Structures are given as C-alpha cells and as structure tokens.
C-alpha cells in the first residue's frame, strides 16, 4: 500500500471518534463562554460520572440548528444568556417541561418559564453607572428619566443590535406600553453622548465596558450597562479598567416604580432529549448552593437562588428591587422592541 493511501486513516478515525462517546453523558448547546461553566461541568462529571459535551454557538445559529435537527438532535439541554432567547426556543417548540422537579422551587417564578420549560441559573441587572464627582446621585431616578431633555448628550449605551438592550426595551414595552416606549426611545436616542465624529450621527460605539470608560473620560454622564461587566472591570488584569471602575458608582434605577431590569442565563430541556434524567441532574447540580456560589463569585453574576448571597462586591452595592414581570414574556416583545429601537434611530 502506498503511503499516500494511509492519509485517509486519521480521517476515518476522526469520524468514528465523533460517533462513539462514554457511557454516561449529556449534550449541551450553549451561547455562554465562561470558564466557570466548564469548571462546574468538570465538577459535575467528577461527582456523578456523567460527562458534559458542549457545543458553543451564538444563540441564534444554535436555535436554528436545534430546529433543523428536530427529533434527531443529540442535544439534551440548551444553556442560553437572555430570557428572550430562552423564550424563543420555547416558541419554536424546541423545549419540553422539566415536569415536577423539586429544584424548580429553588428559583422565583418570574425567573422560570410558566410551563417549566426553562429555568434561570444566574441573573444580572441592567444598571446605571455615573461619576459621583460630576453627577449628583439625586438627579438619577429611572430608565424613563434618561429620555428627558436635561440629559441631552449625556447618555452612553451600546448599540441596539445587542440583545441586552433589546430585552430591556421589550421589558419596557411590557411595563409602560408600546406608545410610551416609542416616545421614551426617541428622547433617549436624542440624548446619546457619543457621536461618530465623521458622520456626526449618533452612533453608539463599543461594548458595555466602553460605556463606563466614556463616563470616566467625561464624554458622557451616565452609562447603561450590565452589572457583571462592572464587577469584572473592578477586578480586571488591565489597570485602566480598574481605575475607571473604581472612580465610578452604581445606581439601580426604578426603585420607586417597577424595579431594575434584570435578565438571566438559564437552561432549557430540549424536546427530543434522549437523556432527560442526566439533563435534570445537571440542572439540579447547577442550582445547588455550592454551584450557585461558584457561579456568582467567578463572574460577578447574581445567583438565581435568592437564598445564596452574591459576591461581596455585589452585596456592597446593596439590595435592590428587581423588575418581577415574568421573564418568559420578553420573547414575544423582543422583535417589536428591536424594530422600535431602529425606528427611533438607535443604530
């Protein structure tokens, strides 16, 4: 046999290795990419002998793939950031109910699906960040307030294509209705501080951390961002980020009304899962007190369980009233939310 033909051997081996798997395993599709997730999966395998196989995909291709695979899918669980996406998975008929598992009682009702098709594991708040040397905290009150003319060119927030903003606006539609949301959005967009210097258009620039940096640099006064990014900045390897975050303060908006907007990462059980018991065990494991603490500490996310205290840093920001509309309603509004944002000129 010529050596050239031997080249095909590793190829066949790779294909075969894709087919065989250890006896006990559970397959997970996720759009999260944090080291802590993998650490917990490893701990789960150590404890139960069940291996967690992971495909990391962006949420949307992930759902499309699951949809196309239908009953032939090998996925048992989806683990997604953003309640709107979990809701979309449900709407596409990709999930099934966890049934009557005791672990469902560990998490408040508004942080799980009404039909128990998905459940939150961690939580983050969409907070306001300001520089106490520039902005008086008493001028801050609510998200709606940021649409008022006195904040002209003072607001920093990332682009509308980001799901955290879409879910925030979707929640707003639920709370104050579509017409009022539209008015609020127009005011808010007009108040954007960051302009593209070339086109002079209001073009949000950068990610969540960049919004905080804009406040630090005096370009904006208030940034809307996710709580865990602010925590990560304080403990960053990059000294600039630590500088920025330690000179800014956190404000929880809407404490007098419907509460600060929260969003979750959660797991859903796929409709055609062939390892339902293993899948449930993994969810149960992720909701154990130890896992919840590890989750919270590694990533500055709030634990989904109310009886597990958050990271000391988050605790130092104090308790806050959180929006308690059922998060499973967000998905029905998110497409409309995105359209409203674009119509208001939020790039």
Partner 1 sequence: MQFYRARFNPFTFITAIAFLFVCLFLLQFIPPLFAEAGPMWYWMQTYWFPDVLFQSLMLVGGTLVLSSLIGVSLAYWMSFYRIPFARLWDIILVIPLAIPTYLLGYIYVDLFSGAWYQPYFVITNLPGAILLFSLTLYPYIYLAIRSFLSKQPQTMFASAQSLGANAITMFWKIIFPLLRPALIGAMVLVTMEVLNDYGLVHYFGLRVYATTIFQAWFNGNDLNTAVRFSIQLIAFIVMILWLEASLRKSFKYSYSTTQIKPLMKKVLPRSTAWFFYSVAMITLTFALVIPIIQLLWWLPNVPQEIYARHFWDGLYSTVIMAFYPTIIIMILSLMIINFQRIMPKPWKKWIQRILTLGYALPGAVIAVGMILMWVPIDRMMADIFNINSMIISGSLMLLTLALVLRFFAVGSNIIEGTYHKIGMKYTLASHALKKSYLQTLVAIDLPLISHGVIAASLIVMVDLFKELPLTLILRPFNFQTLATYLYQYAGDEQINLASPMALMLIVLTAGAVIFASDMMLKVNTYES
Give the interface with partner 1 as residue ranges (CB under 8 A): 4, 7, 11, 14-15, 18-19, 21, 27, 33-35, 38, 53-61, 63-65, 68-74, 88, 92, 159, 161, 194, 196-199, 203, 205-210, 213-214, 216-217, 219, 229, 232, 237-238, 240-241, 244, 274, 335, 338-339, 342-343, 347
Buried b (16+ CB within 10 A) or exposed e, 278-316: bbbbbbbbbbbeebbbbbbbebbbbbbbeebebbeebee
Q: How far is the CB of 142 from partner 1 (least distance, A)?
A: 27
| DSSP 3-state percent helix, strand, coil across the chain (nearest 5) | 50, 15, 35
Q: How far is the CB of 99 from partner 1 (least distance, A)?
A: 22
Q: How far is the CB of 46 from partner 1 (least distance, A)?
A: 16
Residue nearer to partner 1 on the CB measure, 82 or 322: 82
Q: How far is the CB of 307 from partner 1 (least distance, A)?
A: 29
The CA dihedral of 65, 71, 74, 75, to the nearest 10 degrees, is 60
For residue 73, give the DSSP letter: -
Q: How far is the CB of 257 from partner 1 (least distance, A)?
A: 29
β-bridge mates for residue 119, sequence order: 112, 267
Token reading at 87: 């809701």
Residue nearer to partner 1 on the CB measure, 38 or 48: 38
Residue nearer to partner 1 on the CB measure, 16 or 179: 16
Q: How far is the CB of 76 from partner 1 (least distance, A)?
A: 12
Where would I find the beta strands (DSSP E) of 199-327? 222-226, 249-251, 262-270, 302-303
Residue nearer to partner 1 on the CB measure, 308 or 341: 341
Residue nearer to partner 1 on the CB measure, 7 or 102: 7
The Cα-based distances of 308 to 68, 80, 97, 302, 312 in angstroms read 38, 21, 25, 9, 12
Residue nearer to partner 1 on the CB measure, 123 or 202: 202
Q: How far is the CB of 146 from partner 1 (least distance, A)?
A: 20
Residue nearer to partner 1 on the CB measure, 101 or 210: 210
For residue 193, give the DSSP letter: -
Phi and psi of 17, rounded to 5°?
-65, -25
CA distance 3 to 97: 54
β-bridge mates for residue 80, sequence order: 266
């Amino acid at each position: 046999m010529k050596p050239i033909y031997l080249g095909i051997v590793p190829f066949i081996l790779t294909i075969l290795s894709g087919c065989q798997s250890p006896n006990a395993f559970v397959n997970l599709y996720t759009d999260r990419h944090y080291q802590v997730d993998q650490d917990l999966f490893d701990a789960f395998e150590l404890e139960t002998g069940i291996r967690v196989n992971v495909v990391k995909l962006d949420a949307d291709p992930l759902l499309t793939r699951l949809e196309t695979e239908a009953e032939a899918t090998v996925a048992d669980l989806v683990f997604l950031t953003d309640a709107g996406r979990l809701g979309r998975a449900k709407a596409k008929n990709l999930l099934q109910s966890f049934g009557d598992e005791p672990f469902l009682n560990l998490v408040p009702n508004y942080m799980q699906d009404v039909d128990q098709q998905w459940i939150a594991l961690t939580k983050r708040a969409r907070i306001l960040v300001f520089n106490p040397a520039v902005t008086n905290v008493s001028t801050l009150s609510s998200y709606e307030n940021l649409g008022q003319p006195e904040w002209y060119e003072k607001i920093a927030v990332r682009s509308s294509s980001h799901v955290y903003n879409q879910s925030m606006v979707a929640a707003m539609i639920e709370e104050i209705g579509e017409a009022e949301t539209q008015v609020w959005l127009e005011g808010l967009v007009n108040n954007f501080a960051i302009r593209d210097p070339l086109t002079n258009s209001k073009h949000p620039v950068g990610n969540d951390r960049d919004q905080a940096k804009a406040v630090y640099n005096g370009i904006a006064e208030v940034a809307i961002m996710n709580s865990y990014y602010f925590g990560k900045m304080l403990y960053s390897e990059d000294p600039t980020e630590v500088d920025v975050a330690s000179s800014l303060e956190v404000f929880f908006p809407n404490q007098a009304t419907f509460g600060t907007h929260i969003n979750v990462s959660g797991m859903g059980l796929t409709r055609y899962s062939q390892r339902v018991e293993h899948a449930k065990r993994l969810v149960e494991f992720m909701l154990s007190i130890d896992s919840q603490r590890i989750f919270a500490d590694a990533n500055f996310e709030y634990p989904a369980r109310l009886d597990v205290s958050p990271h000391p840093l988050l605790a130092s920001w104090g308790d806050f009233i959180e929006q308690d509309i059922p998060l499973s309603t967000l998905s029905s509004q998110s497409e409309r939310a995105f359209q409203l944002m674009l119509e208001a000129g939020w790039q």
